[in-house]
């Protein structure tokens, strides 16, 4: 009987357990998107996770709109990540870099240019900038001749991640960001070869994935999808018709693993709207036979059951890893789960507070 505490092979490497740390934006990098020494200790503390999926990491200045979020497009950023990956490896852990292009969910005051998306659109709500909260700006539609450059940015970022010492990468194709915007018809109104049919809408994700596989190998590539619900203003009229074929496509081109963040009626993810759309993981499980990681508000019992019954090969936890760097031990020994302080989730101004000062359970 498989448990959360058994090892799992993801392509080129094996994780020591099936309790993964999901990507968590914490905004402790510099304004130049270079990781800081504070981040070394944060990731080191959580290295007992079977796998750490890094916080979203920008592939380009165009694609990175979060203030104080890290990037992976230049040498300074590569050098900033090296002590982080070394710290995780020295503690026996594994870490992959989540590659992020935020699409329309950026602001020109941070990126220096108008947001881009598959079609002209404006995200709802507001964004935090270095000058305070501002409404999202209208995104312009990407031209076809611009897409090869974005694909090249992804491939270069993947190469940079391997240079920085990561064990692999995860392509962020979820949560209303660029690749998810292309997948869903709520944001993608194109009439060319990147819009309309599910095959056309998944084309950019396929091309990005294939370009990355070409430079680092399929056995170091994972993808994240959010296949149901409306997230950060983006949804789809028929999620099953796009996300099940997308998962099948990813299986066919040979990615090592797939993570699904699934919404529900009560979600802790701030960008979610309550949804009654069914979770698609059972149908995706039938077409994606490589390791499948599930995420979103799992209880201890629910996580153990999902892995034991084979509905998932691993479970990734987000909020619990904020306040519980020793989460694996807490789950294994049925120890209390500490509560986090949401006021300290984001912001370089908080420094170590609410970031690396949560206590470990005494030996």
Q: Which residues are catalytic?
A: 177
Q: What is the DSSP letter of 254?
A: T
Please choose, from the candidates 78, 106, 16, the residue with its C-alpha nearest in 3D space to the C-alpha of residue 52: 16
- Backbone φ and ψ for 112, nearest 5 degrees, come out as 85, 5
Q: What is the DSSP letter of 144?
A: G
Residue found under tokens 């599930």: 294
- Residues 327, 49: contact at Cβ < 8 Å? yes
Please choose, from the candidates 210, 240, 237, the residue with its C-alpha nearest in 3D space to the C-alpha of residue 225: 240
For 65, the 3-state DSSP assignment is coil
Give whole-number Cα distances, 129 to 66, 132, 260, 274, 341, in Å. 8, 5, 29, 27, 22
| Number of other residues whose CB lies within 10 A of the CB of residue 282 | 9
In angstroms, rounded to a whole number, what is the distance separating the alpha carbons of residues 276 and 290? 28
- Residues 237, 186: contact at Cβ < 8 Å? yes
H-run or E-run covering 133: strand 132-135
- Residues 180, 192: contact at Cβ < 8 Å? no
| Four-CA torsion 114, 116, 119, 124, nearest 10 degrees | -70
Please choose, from the candidates 10, 51, 168, the residue with its C-alpha nearest in 3D space to the C-alpha of residue 99: 168
Q: What is the DSSP letter of 23?
A: P
């Amino acid at each position: 009987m498989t448990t959360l505490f058994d090892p799992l092979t993801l392509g080129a490497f094996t994780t020591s357990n099936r309790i993964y740390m999901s990507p968590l934006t914490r905004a402790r990098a510099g304004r130049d998107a270079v990781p800081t020494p504070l981040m070394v200790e944060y990731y080191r503390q959580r290295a007992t996770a079977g796998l750490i999926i890094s916080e979203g990491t920008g592939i380009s200045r165009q694609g990175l709109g979060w203030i104080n979020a890290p990037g992976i497009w230049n040498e300074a950023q590569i050098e900033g990540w090296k002590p982080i990956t070394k710290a995780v490896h020295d503690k026996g852990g594994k870490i992959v870099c989540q590659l992020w292009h935020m699409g329309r969910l950026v602001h020109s005051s941070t990126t220096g240019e108008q947001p881009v998306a598959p079609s002209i659109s404006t995200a709802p709500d507001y964004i935090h900038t270095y000058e305070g909260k501002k409404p999202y700006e209208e995104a312009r539609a990407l031209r076809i001749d611009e897409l090869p450059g974005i694909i090249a940015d992804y491939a270069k970022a993947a190469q940079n991640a391997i240079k920085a010492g990561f064990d692999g990468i995860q392509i962020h194709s979820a949560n209303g960001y660029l690749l998810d915007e292309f997948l869903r018809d709520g944001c993608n109104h194109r009439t060319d070869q990147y819009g309309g049919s599910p095959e056309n809408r998944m084309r950019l994700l396929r091309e990005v994935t294939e370009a990355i596989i070409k430079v680092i190998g399929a056995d170091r590539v994972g993808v994240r999808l959010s296949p149901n619900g409306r997230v950060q203003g983006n949804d789809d009229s028929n999620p099953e018709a796009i996300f099940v074929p997308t998962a099948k496509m990813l299986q066919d081109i040979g990615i090592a693993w797939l993570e699904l963040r699934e919404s529900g009626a009560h979600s802790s993810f701030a960008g979610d709207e309550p949804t009654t759309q069914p979770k698609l993981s059972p149908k995706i499980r039938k077409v994606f036979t490589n390791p499948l990681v599930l995420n979103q508000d799992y209880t201890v019992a629910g996580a153990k059951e999902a892995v034991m019954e084979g509905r998932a090969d691993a479970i990734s936890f987000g909020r619990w890893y904020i306040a519980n760097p020793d989460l694996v031990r807490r789950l294994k020994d049925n120890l209390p789960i500490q509560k986090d302080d949401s006021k300290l989730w984001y912001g370089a101004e908080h420094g170590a507070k609410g970031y690396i000062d949560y206590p470990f359970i005494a030996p």
